[in-house]
Chain A
Amino acid sequence: MKRGLEGPPPEDRPTPAGRRNKQGIRIDPEVEATHEPRRTVISALVEHEPGVLSDVSGLFSRRQFNIESLTVGPTKDEDRARITVVVEEPDPGIDQIKKQLRKLVPVISVRELEPDAMQRELALIKVDADDPAQVHAVADMYDATTVDSSPETATFEITGARKKIEAAVETFGQFGIREISRTGTTALARGTEETAAPVSATESAADEANHDEPYQTADDD
């Protein structure tokens, strides 16, 4: 009994020469671009209501976007909060993140910040204070503020770009770090530019959905 259909078998069929890459882009030497992951900051203005943060973080986890940090806080308008997300993804992934975020109903606007945007983190670092003079010398070097000290420990608050905090952590390491608590990055656009202003549907769809912009790699500070 026959199992299947009549017709030329696969080997007798023509196959096109073209191919697409994993992102569904046709592979053509002139338009092909390699998409390496890059680190960037996305700022979203959202309705300040319960559940928004979980909507946003849930979106990231179920779509397997790699979040580096996520901070949220109130804005000058008490009905709105700002969410700052640092992600590391290839360009098509970053594009998807922005589009998917915009789909959430409580999200008012979404923007990827320019690499020159102001980016700050805060860290609390508790170190052994066996040699207070030296510890304080290092603290001065990084503009760290002493927030607590005891006969055995000193705790410093340090704010700045990620690189600065990482450098400070490494330098404090020589005294023996007991504990560290760090926030994620928070950021604002420079000058008069608005960080996440509401954009019209036409504008957002035209610039985000419809065109690949030449991206630059985000840099700290």
Chain B
Amino acid sequence: MSERAAKVTQADEEEQADDQITDSAAPDAAQEIDAESESETTPEPVTSGAEAVVRALENAGVEHAFGVQGGAIMPVYDALYDSDIYHVTMAHEQGAAHAADAYGIVSGKPGICLATSGPGATNLVTGLADADMDSDPLVALTGQVPTEFVGNDAFQETDTTGVTTPVTKNNTFASDSDRVGNDVSEAFALASEGRPGPTLVDLPKDITNGETDREPDAPAVPDTYEVQERADEELVDAAAERLENSNRPVMLLGGGVIKGEASEACREFAIEHEIPVITTMPGLGAFPEDHELSLEMAGMHGTGYANMAITHCDTLIGIGTRFDDRLTGGIETFAPDAELIHVDIDPAEISKNIHADYPLVGDAETVVEQLAAAVDESPEATKWRAQCQQWKSDYSMAYDAPEDEPVQPEFVVEALDEATDDDTIVTTGVGQHQMWACQYWTFTEPRTWVSSHGLGTMGYGLPAAIGARIAADDDQDVVCIDGDGSFLMTMQGLSVAVRENLDITVAVLNNEYIGMVRQWQDAFFEGRHSASDYHWMPEFDKLAEAFGAAGFRIDDYDEVADTIEDALAYDGPSVIDVHIDPEANVFPMVPSGGDNGQFALTEDQL
């Protein structure tokens, strides 16, 4: 550990000592407040739009928010000053959106992010698009220039609702101080009701500064927004009959299973009827990967056995998945023999990419319970299960790690997994490291996998770890598996992690390449490494120390276990710069638009 890091630890200990003093004094103080006045239970009436905004968040039970200050959002921050909502100041608005997104994934409640108008709002856009693609609940509050300047190209003005319409579930331009609190309540409700997603309220400064005594209502969705919870019984019965008569069934669990809190129901259903289970990437953790029925993840970099099973099944029960192209590969060859039972809360997902033979629109947990009640007999699939086990051994995810060669990334992921508990939260950036994390980390619990799936946002890992850390239980570890290219994109977030003393361990799998691009260049562009060579990478351990975090470095196998242990033990943010084999590639691989069953196991099969 560096001298600087040691100093920080010492300072932290002192701070903790202070905290303890405060803590021990706290009960008395709390009693005093209770005794002193009833005003704790009936808060001061709101007097401005900004106070109504903050009151709406408080009413919704919001405890944390992420954001960056700025001119047009200042009234809201002024109102936050008196609130119990803990605001985490981020180093960049993109980080605020990702942190709020991760907070939403881990806690199940919408994450909140704030930004000012213009550049603040546009910096949120990537995070909003990310949350939109992954259906993560998130509420963004953006400042806006005063209404009289809107449309005049005023200083720091952007048409925020215009810019964010395609990447939000819903957005609102607040136009009335009396109504602004309800706009926020509504945005909060919409973010998690039905299919979750990001919502935004644009807050002109005159509206937040404007006087109002209107208390916001409790969060509620508008009347026009209706969600169907239960699937049509006749269709459930038909689907159940289909399943009973199938011989090669597979369950495909998507991110919707986790968001719909349906993991338990799906596990019970799969285990009772002995149906092999595949997850999509956002569905990791919905089913324990150490269970015999688990075939892990399918798709472009899914396991060989998952891709064989999905290709050869005769009945596919897709739950909370939107059949993204990274999962399906070419549509023509996706589960070509399978009748599809598709469970989704969003009717628009039904038959969007893959035609659903049994469309079951409704809440994942409710519909799986309906289905469980309707299925009387388990499908006769003994041979099929044996076949799946055979594929598991034929296409095992084993790798070589000779001591005298550079460290293989798979080994590092497995070592991190072994050194941490089952409920450890993993966040990642986007690239090869993300795929190795999917493949070699054994996920067993929902809400422990936080990654950028649909949008594939490099730089997601560190800010997501910050959001996840704040949402997680204190005894839960948070590990960020990052790539060198990804980490470099948002590493300013380390300053936040240090200031908040967040116990996060970042393992940067450093190959000095934009590795996934290099892999594709090797496979499809004759090895011409155009702009993917990052041989100018900084030393991340030293950079971490410069930020006040603990820095570690791994070059050899014999350093892996001990260094990981030290980094995990460090109470605060730590960064391990892991110098991995620069030539390591991700396999299996289904080339873009290819046949899932024809996955390549080696370079020459591409």
Query: Which residues of chain A have a CB within 8 Å of any CB of chain B?
Result: 1-10, 13-26, 47, 50-51, 54-55, 58, 62, 92, 95-96, 99-100, 102-108, 200-202, 204-206, 208-210
Q: Which A residues are CB-close (under 8 A) to B170? A: 104-105
27 example contacts (A-B, Cβ-Cβ < 8 A) are as follows A3-B587, A4-B587, A5-B304, A5-B396, A5-B601, A5-B602, A7-B396, A10-B598, A14-B597, A15-B597, A16-B337, A19-B336, A20-B331, A20-B333, A21-B331, A23-B331, A23-B355, A51-B165, A54-B162, A95-B351, A100-B348, A105-B169, A202-B228, A202-B232, A209-B351, A209-B359, A210-B235
B-side interface size class? 35 or more
Q: Which of B173, B331, B336, B405 contacts A18 (CB 8 A)?
A: B336
Shortest C-beta distance, A16 to chain B (Å), equals 5
Give A9 to B397 CA distance when docked, in angstroms. Answer: 15
The docked-state distance in angstroms from the alpha carbon of A99 to that of B361 is 12
CA of A65 to CA of B331, assembled, Å: 20
Q: Is B224 in contact with A105, judged by CB distance below 8 angstroms?
A: yes
Which residues of B sit under 8 angstroms from A2, Cβ to Cβ?
400
Asked if B355 and A4 sit within 8 Å, CB to CB, the answer is no
* Residues in B whose Cβ lies below 8 Å from that of A47: 224
Which residues of B from 120 to 174 have beta carbons under 8 Å from A? 161-162, 165-166, 169-170, 173
Is B291 among interface residues, defined by CB-CB distance under 8 A? no
**Contact residues in A for B227 (Cβ distance below 8 Å):** 201
Question: Are B354 and A58 closer than 8 Å at their CB atoms?
Answer: no
Minimal beta-carbon separation of B544 from chain A (angstroms): 31
Given contacts A3-B603, A105-B170, A107-B224, contact A21 B332 (CB under 8 A): yes
Return chain A residues, CB-CB under 8 Å to B334.
Answer: 20, 24
Which residues of chain B are within 8 angstroms of A103 by Cβ–Cβ distance? 346, 348
- Listed from nearest, the 4 A-B pairs whose CB atoms lie closest are A4-B602, A18-B336, A209-B347, A99-B348
Excluding A5-B601, A58-B166, A99-B350, 17 further A-B contacts by CB distance (< 8 Å) are A1-B400, A3-B602, A5-B587, A14-B597, A16-B312, A16-B337, A18-B337, A20-B354, A51-B173, A54-B162, A96-B352, A99-B347, A104-B170, A105-B224, A106-B224, A107-B224, A201-B227
Determine the residue in chain A with the shortest Cβ distance to B395: A7
- Contact between chains at B598 and A7 (CB < 8 Å): no
Contact A22 B331 (CB under 8 A): yes
- Shortest CB-to-CB span from A11 to chain B, Å, is 9
Query: Given contacts A5-B601, A106-B224, are A206 and B397 in contact (CB under 8 A)?
Result: no
Give the distance to chain A from B387, nearest Cβ to Cβ, in Å.
Answer: 10
Q: Give the one of A14, A20, A206 with max B CB within 10 A.
A: A20
Cα separation A96 to B346 with both chains bound (whole Å): 12
Measured CB to CB, the closest approach of chain A to B597, in angstroms, equals 6
Partner among B336, B583, B597 whose Cβ is within 8 Å of the Cβ of A20: B336
Tell me, rounded to whole Å, the shortest Cβ–Cβ distance linking B353 to chain A.
Answer: 5
